[in-house]
Chains A and B, each alone.
Chain A
Amino acid sequence: MPPQITRLVLLTIAIICAYFTARYLLTPQSFGQYGHYRGAALQEIAGREPFWAGRKTCDTCHGEIVQKLAKAEHKGLSCETCHGPAKAHVDNPEVKLPKPGYGQCVRCHEASPSRPAWIHQVTPAKHYTGQVCTECHVPHQPNEVP
């Protein structure tokens, strides 16, 4: 074989080898694990810590209240909807959550023409100006009278 051809062949092999080496080193290990993307990205996105504890978490200690709630009108409510994020309280039960009040009630029950008819709505100014809903309503059992 003429020497220039040999050189050309060797050079071609070297370039091909360099390409595959570079590709091997530069491609993330998990690339192509699930599809044409970095599989480890899924783990990274899933690795974040949740912020809201969830009703199931509340149920582990406050099962009695959750069960009573499940029978009443407010059965679909999550504890944290009214009581706020429970994480600090879950980590340390000494930390008490702020008591929900008027603000939480009217967020859902203030009358609005945009609201569907099924939700109980009141015009606070006409209904009761005292702003203490719990005087007449039990939040966990809305059908009961205190």
Chain B
Amino acid sequence: MSENVTRRNVLKNLAGIVGGILALPAARTCQAAVRNVFATAQAPKGYDPFKHKWLMALDVDRCIGCGFCVEACKAENSVPQDNFRTWIERYVVTRPKPGSGESRGDTFVDSPDGGIGGFKPSLIPKEDVLKSFFVPKLCNQCENSPCSQVCPVGATFESPDGVVLVDKNYCIGCGFCIQACPYGCRFLNPETHTADKCTLCYHRITRGLRPACVEICPSQARIFGDLKNPIADDPLQRFIENNKTQGLKAHLGTKPRVRYANLDEEVR
């Protein structure tokens, strides 16, 4: 080894490094050219993520549990059969025991097949039901998202337009983010072996379309809008003005952005 460390060799290597640095612009052009060849379909031109701030809101009193949104999401995003980017939960609160002095009995939550095909009648007899309602769930697009904090490779991030996204090329499929999400909104895609989640239909909203679930929802339980560019008679603005809204599990400090109206205390 030591025979190789001559003045001649060191100078040669140094010259090589300097040459390498000088060749960088050429390397960069080459790199860009290769990337262009392999680049997939491009996003709509002229979309500036800094000029938008998307938000989804859900009105629990409007949800009728038809399950069309879950099917729409699956079709739009090719979500694998056993995974969900959005789903509907049915809450059934039973009557308290007579004379117990309680305001309510037990709470039962189910979501058979995420709500696909609608809900079959609950097994709890009708006369025992104090109240029952449907709650649509999806990624809460947290401002302080635990999933992007735990990602060891920086594959998950909060985009400037308010969506938490996953970079499939960077994701190593370790699953930390799936454990970190307190809302259970993430899953490991068995086809791509990467973390997957609701993107608020990023490919649609950047084109001026509404997310698939919002488009298909027949009862306006899902409201969507751009906080930075409200349209005339903006449904989202109207919703926020007319309702008392809250985010899910606000005490965890994740700052969930998705707004819910008419939530029951049992909903987590």
Contacts of A112 in B (CB 8 A): 65, 119, 121
Q: Say yes or no: B14 contacts A10, CB within 8 Å.
A: yes
Is there an interface contact between B216 and A45, defined as CB atoms closer than 8 Å?
no
Which residues of B are found within 8 Å of A119, using beta-carbon distances? 64, 219
Residues 16-46 of chain A: 1 if any B CB is under 8 Å from the residue's CB, otherwise 0?
0110010011000100001111101111111
**Per-residue interface assignment for chain B, residues 48 to 72, with 1 indicating a CB less than 8 Å from any chain A CB and 0 otherwise:** 0110000000000111111110001
**Interchain CB contact under 8 A, B212 and A114:** no
* Residues of A close to B66: CB separation below 8 A: 107-108
The segment from A50-58, A61-69, A89-97, A124-132 that touches chain B is: A50-58
Q: Which residues of B contact A10 (CB under 8 A)?
A: 10, 14
A98 interfacial by beta-carbon distance below 8 Å:
no
Q: Size of chain B's interface in residues, with CB distance under 8 A?
A: 72
Q: How far is the CB of B104 from chain A (nearest CB, A)?
A: 15
A2 at the interface (CB under 8 A from B): no
* Given A76-B218, A112-B65, A115-B64, A45-B122 contact (CB < 8 Å): no
A85/B75 in contact, CB under 8 A: yes
Stretch at the interface among B182-190, B197-205, B224-232, B251-259: B197-205
CB distance A7 to B10 under 8 Å?
Answer: yes
Q: How far is B39's CA from A13's CA once the two chains are assembled, in angstroms? A: 36
**Complex contact B28–A29 (CB within 8 A):** yes
CB distance from B51 to the nearest CB of A (A): 12
**Is A146's CB within 8 Å of the partner chain B?**
no
A interface residues, how many (CB within 8 angstroms): 47
- Are A47's CB and B157's CB within 8 A? no
Beyond A29-B31, A107-B118, whether A116 also contacts B62 by CB under 8 A is yes
Compute how far the CA of A107 lies from the CA of B64 in the bound complex, rounded to whole angstroms: 9
B160 and A35 form a contact (CB under 8 A): yes
Do residues B65 and A115 form an inter-chain contact, with CB atoms below 8 A?
A: yes
Asked if residues B64 and A50 are in contact (CB atoms below 8 Å), the reply is no
Contact assessment for B134 and A114 in the assembled complex, using a CB-CB cutoff below 8 Å:
yes
Chain B residues, Cβ within 8 Å of A107: 66-68, 118
**Inter-subunit contact A46/B219 (CB<8 Å):** no
Binds A, one of B125-133, B137-145, B173-181, B239-247: B125-133
Residues of the B chain whose Cβ atoms lie less than 8 Å from the Cβ of A43? 42-43
Asked whether A47 lies within 8 Å of B43 as measured between CB atoms, the reply is: yes
Q: Which residues of B contact A113 (CB under 8 A)?
A: 122, 126, 129, 132
Q: Are B49 and A54 in contact (CB under 8 A)?
A: no
- Cα distance A116–B221 in the bound complex, in angstroms: 11
Inter-subunit contact B165/A45 (CB<8 Å): yes
- Contacts A41-B170, A45-B199, A46-B44 given; indicate if A76 touches B220 (C-beta within 8 A): yes
Instruction: Please state if B210 and A54 are interface contacts (CB–CB under 8 Å).
Output: yes
> Smallest Cβ distance from B87 to chain A, in angstroms?
15
Nearest opposing residue in chain A for B27, CB measure = A25
**In angstroms, how far is the closest chain B Cβ from the Cβ of A126?**
14
Shortest beta-carbon contacts, A-B, top 8: A46-B43, A41-B167, A47-B41, A114-B132, A37-B157, A48-B203, A43-B43, A46-B206
Listed in ascending order, the chain A residues whose CB lies under 8 Å from chain B are 7, 10, 13-14, 17-18, 21, 24-25, 29, 34-38, 40-52, 54-56, 76-78, 80-81, 85, 107-108, 110, 112-116, 118-119
Ordered by A's residue number, 20 sampled pairs between the chains whose C-beta atoms are within 8 Å are A17-B17, A21-B24, A34-B159, A37-B167, A43-B42, A44-B39, A45-B43, A46-B203, A46-B207, A49-B41, A50-B207, A52-B72, A56-B209, A78-B215, A80-B216, A81-B68, A85-B75, A107-B66, A108-B64, A114-B133
